[in-house]
């Protein structure tokens, strides 16, 4: 019988969408070739009469609720086979037979005593084809005292529900705020009685049968066609025409709860696109179903706002999330703010994906212009050679030789922002926690192997990092990606995300951005719709939530740590010499390489003395900038010691304020590395007896010469080599010169006698007009400036240095 399911036999298959009473089912088709909601049919079981539930202002008939509950739990959401036995035009109702599997539903409800059997209708043929069997089952139920035929004294009276006023159509005494305060955040069992639209439900709260209207938190579905209220009652829309639906509009007139729940009989206005689809989607999942309601808040009209969860197999699904994911509702901020952060995040992410896929209500969605562009297929692995700030690192790509200009790639961490390091050139100091963020990454990343997943690029202003129009000529492109420490890398227990597997066990490794956000050294960027973001955005938001709740880093109520660093690289040579005794107190001083200025010259941070110094190797020199192999020497040092913890032994300070000495990284003299690679050479004029490990340095240089590496590639024993090119010994050239300035014991400036260029310059200087007094505003030299000065004794121009300056007109001598 159940297998007969074609229209030719009169039998059809469908799914039960609703159970209005103990003898009535609403059945929808399983599939349809037409777009929109599936066709449906309301079937009243033939020859049966169930007790009637209370309507507005009335009371239940005895056993009405139990009768409806038996049929609801038996059939709701299940596939059935049915046919129409007869219909009664006067009441526009179809009566039929319904099978659940191979069981006749009418026989099941009659056998349990929840309905009466009507022997004959008003017209001939208005009876069930199974009438005889139904009468037999009814008689058997009466004898056994089942259901409505119970023989227990007072059972009929006890079955009548004591409904609160709101369930009888008079919710005026319902205090929504008090009810919320008593139940906020607590899961409540409920049955959905009506779906007004995709995101508005009318619900019985069990076991008190409190009847309430609930707006699903965080979303809004397209609005159904509204009915204009009668002239005596003005019922405005909950959302005004000039709003986008995110915030309820102001009502046209004060409205009671009873008026809001009232159903008018006037003509309907047009429904929003996909409104009927959204309503049908919700009905098929929650109408007449047991659901779990968690109240989140109350709006200004005293409507309850809550999250609704419905069963799906062994799990429970969030109705709001399902609607948004399928393009039947949009995310609204005003009610989402009542929810927990994780739930809000899921809704927002689901809406973004629905917009990208242009599902249903987003079919014609046009994304706003974005300044970001996705990067595809640019993943690589490499070693971190520099930490620029808490959200920016430089990675040496393993696939490119280290001497290549493209070997190092700057990667900005996707979707996070850390405190700015400032700009010393503009006298900008680091923001609070900027140093701590950078140091946090330095100690964990520098020299470590990482995997980089490039995700997007953005055009930003070079001055402040703000977004600028793509046509701006002064913009620059920044690349963003997610960086992962390889599995097996050592990470502190405090660094590992609390909700993630142990550090090193994640599929891609440890997400660096998640680490720094979790420590409170960075915040997650709230991207606009369709703006590219990290592929691990949800994990970043979760890490930020943990940092906020733990009051870590920038989220702490404590004052940020303050560190004052004396920068001797920009100070005078005298001030640098004043620091020399402090560095001589210990034979070896711990330091951090802040920057590689050249192959042999660096900027170092001395944490113990809270100062930065310029440091150079004693007696070891690399090619100067723009000379052959200069870039390779710098690249080698960046990979070897950039931002590493090192030890130095300072010997002296030169006249420019640069400290000279030896440097060790992991107990290895770094100068040896340069010499072995053929990227530096010894300068014995410094004094080999003053250089530690000189014999090792000499051995390294000799080894590079024998192998003719880099600057020694043209080396021939007995010939002088200058920057990689052998120079033949030439006969000494004697020049007649004039000494113009003496800088030190072995360094001075000269001019060649008879040089025509000198004569030309002297002629131009002689033509200068000295009669006009100098303009004070234009002449404002500083101490140490090199200037051009006229000497009256021999009426010649000389180069001079300003030793002091007052605001009086200069006197020419």
Sorted by where each starts, the structural domains of the chain and their CATH numbers stand as 7-159 (2.40.50.90), 165-228+270-362 (2.40.50.90), 372-555 (2.40.50.90), 566-725 (2.40.50.90), 737-801 (no CATH)
Q: What is the mean pLDDT of residues 450-470?
A: 71
pLDDT at res. 234: 34
R_g over Cα of the chain: 43
CA distances in angstroms from 556 to 432, 519, 552, 560, listed in the order given: 12, 11, 5, 8
pLDDT at res. 4: 39
Q: What is the mean pLDDT of residues 461-468?
A: 50
pLDDT at res. 383: 92
Task: Write phi, then psi, for 71 (nearest 5 degrees).
Answer: -70, -35
Q: What is the mean pLDDT of residues 570-582?
A: 87
The residue that leads in pLDDT, 282 or 744, is: 282
The residue that leads in pLDDT, 569 or 505, is: 569
Q: What is the mean pLDDT of residues 350-368?
A: 90
Nearest to 78 by CA among 12, 13, 16: 16
The residue that leads in pLDDT, 468 or 492, is: 492
* 3-class DSSP assignment, residue 440: helix
Judged by average pLDDT, the poorest of 34-43, 633-642, 719-728 is 719-728
pLDDT at res. 488: 58
Query: Which tokens is 796 given?
Result: 């010649």
* 736 has pLDDT over 70: yes
pLDDT in tens, 739-783: 877 877 677 888 888 777 777 777 777 777 666 555 555 566 777
Q: How many Å apart are CA 197 and CA 273, to the nearest integer?
A: 12
Contact 107, 45 (CB under 8 A): no
Q: Confidence class of residue 175 from pLDDT cuts 50, 70 and 90?
A: confident
* 798: CB partners within 8 A, 6+ apart: 740, 788, 789, 790, 791
Q: How many Å apart are CA 317 and CA 798, to the nearest integer?
A: 88
H or E element at residue 277: helix 275-286
Judged by average pLDDT, the poorest of 67-71, 92-96, 161-165, 195-199 is 161-165
Query: Which tokens is 699 given?
Result: 């051995």
Average pLDDT, the chain: 82
Q: Confidence class of residue 65 from pLDDT cuts 50, 70 and 90?
A: very high
Q: How many Å apart are CA 128 and CA 98, to the nearest integer?
A: 11
Query: Which tokens is 80 given?
Result: 């059935």
pLDDT in tens, 375-387: 888 899 999 999 9
Which range of 107-116, 483-492, 549-558, 785-794 scores highest in mean pLDDT? It is: 107-116
Q: What is the mean pLDDT of residues 239-259?
A: 36
Q: Confidence class of residue 252 from pLDDT cuts 50, 70 and 90?
A: very low
Q: What is the mean pLDDT of residues 356-371?
A: 87
pLDDT at res. 130: 92
């Amino acid at each position: 019988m159940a297998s007969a399911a074609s229209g030719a036999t009169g039998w059809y298959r469908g799914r039960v969408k609703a159970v209005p009473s103990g003898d009535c089912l609403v059945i929808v088709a399983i599939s349809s070739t037409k777009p929109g909601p599936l066709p449906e049919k309301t079937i009243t079981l033939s020859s049966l009469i169930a007790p009637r539930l209370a309507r507005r202002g009335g009371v239940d008939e005895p056993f009405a609720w139990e009768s409806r509950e038996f049929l609801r739990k038996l059939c709701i959401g299940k596939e059935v086979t049915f046919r129409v036995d007869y219909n009664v035009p006067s009441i526009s109702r179809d009566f039929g037979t319904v099978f659940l599997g191979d069981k006749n539903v009418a026989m099941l409800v009659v056998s349990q005593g929840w309905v009466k059997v009507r022997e004959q209708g008003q017209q001939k043929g208005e009876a069930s084809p199974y009438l005889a069997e139904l009468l037999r089952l009814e008689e058997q139920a009466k004898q056994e005292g089942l259901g409505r035929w119970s023989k227990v004294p007072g059972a009929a009276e006890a079955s009548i529900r004591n409904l609160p006023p709101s369930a009888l159509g008079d919710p005026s005494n319902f205090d929504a705020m008090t009810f919320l305060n008593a139940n906020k955040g607590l899961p409540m069992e409920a049955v959905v009685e009506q779906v007004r639209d995709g995101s508005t439900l009318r619900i019985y709260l069990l076991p008190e049968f409190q009847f309430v209207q609930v707006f699903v938190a965080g979303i809004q579905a397209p609005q159904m066609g509204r009915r204009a209220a009668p002239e005596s009652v003005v019922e405005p829309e909950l959302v005004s025409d000039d709003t986008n639906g995110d915030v309820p509009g102001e009502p046209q007139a004060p409205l009671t709860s009873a008026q809001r729940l009232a159903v008018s009989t006037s003509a309907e206005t047009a429904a929003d696109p996909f409104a009927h689809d959204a309503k049908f989607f919700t009905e098929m999942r929650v109408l007449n179903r047991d659901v779990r309601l968690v109240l989140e808040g109350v709006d200004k009209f005293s409507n309850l706002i809550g999250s609704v969860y419905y069963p799906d197999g062994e799990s429970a699904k969030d109705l709001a999330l399902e609607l948004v994911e399928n393009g039947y509702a949009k995310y609204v901020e005003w009610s989402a703010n009542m929810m927990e952060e994780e739930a809000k995040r899921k809704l927002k992410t689901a809406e973004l994906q629905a917009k990208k896929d242009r599902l249903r209500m987003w079919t014609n969605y046009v994304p706003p212009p974005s300044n970001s562009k996705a990067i595809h297929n640019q993943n690589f692995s490499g070693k971190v050679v520099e930490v620029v700030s808490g959200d920016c690192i430089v990675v040496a790509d393993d696939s490119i030789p280290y001497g290549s200009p493209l070997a190092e790639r700057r990667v900005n961490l996707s979707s996070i922002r850390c405190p700015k390091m400032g700009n010393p050139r503009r006298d900008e100091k680091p923001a609070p926690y900027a140093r701590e963020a950078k140091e946090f990454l330095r100690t964990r990343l520098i020299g470590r192997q990482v995997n980089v997943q490039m995700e997007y690029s953005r055009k930003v202003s070079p001055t402040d990092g703000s977004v600028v129009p793509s046509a701006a000529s002064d913009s620059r492109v920044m690349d963003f990606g997610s960086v992962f420490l390889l599995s097996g890398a050592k990470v502190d227990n405090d660094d590992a995300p609390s909700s993630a597997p142990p550090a090193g066990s994640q599929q891609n490794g440890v997400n660096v951005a998640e680490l720094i956000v979790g420590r409170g050294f960075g915040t997650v960027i709230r991207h606009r719709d369709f703006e590219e973001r990290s592929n691990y955005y949800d994990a970043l938001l979760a890490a930020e939530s943990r940092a906020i709740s733990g009051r870590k880093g920038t989220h702490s109520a404590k004052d940020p740590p303050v560190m004052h660093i004396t920068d001797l690289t920009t100070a005078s040579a005298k001030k640098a010499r004043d620091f020399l005794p402090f560095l001589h107190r210990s034979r070896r001083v711990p330091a951090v390489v802040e920057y590689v200025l050249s192959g042999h010259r660096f900027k170092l941070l001395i944490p113990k003395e809270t100062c930065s110094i310029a440091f150079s190797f004693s007696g070891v020199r690399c090619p100067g900038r723009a000379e052959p192999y200069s870039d390779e020497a710098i690249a080698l040092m960046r990979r070897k010691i950039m931002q590493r913890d090192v030890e130095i032994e300072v010997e002296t300070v030169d006249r420019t304020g640069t400290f000279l000495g030896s440097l060790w990284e992991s107990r290895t003299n770094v100068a040896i590395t340069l010499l072995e690679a053929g990227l530096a050479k010894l300068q014995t004029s410094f004094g080999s007896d003053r250089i530690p490990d000189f014999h090792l340095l000499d051995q390294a240089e000799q080894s590079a010469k024998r192998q003719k590496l880099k600057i020694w590639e043209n080396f021939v024993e007995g010939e002088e080599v200058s920057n990689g090119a052998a120079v033949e010994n030439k006969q000494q050239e004697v020049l007649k010169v004039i000494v113009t300035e003496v800088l030190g014991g072995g360094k001075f400036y000269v001019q060649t006698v008879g040089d025509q260029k000198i004569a030309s310059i002297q002629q131009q200087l002689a033509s200068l007009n000295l009669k006009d007094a100098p303009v004070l505003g234009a002449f404002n030299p500083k101490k140490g400036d090199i200037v051009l000065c006229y000497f009256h004794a021999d009426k010649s121009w000389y180069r001079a240095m300003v030793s002091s300056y007052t605001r009086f007109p200069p006197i020419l001598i």
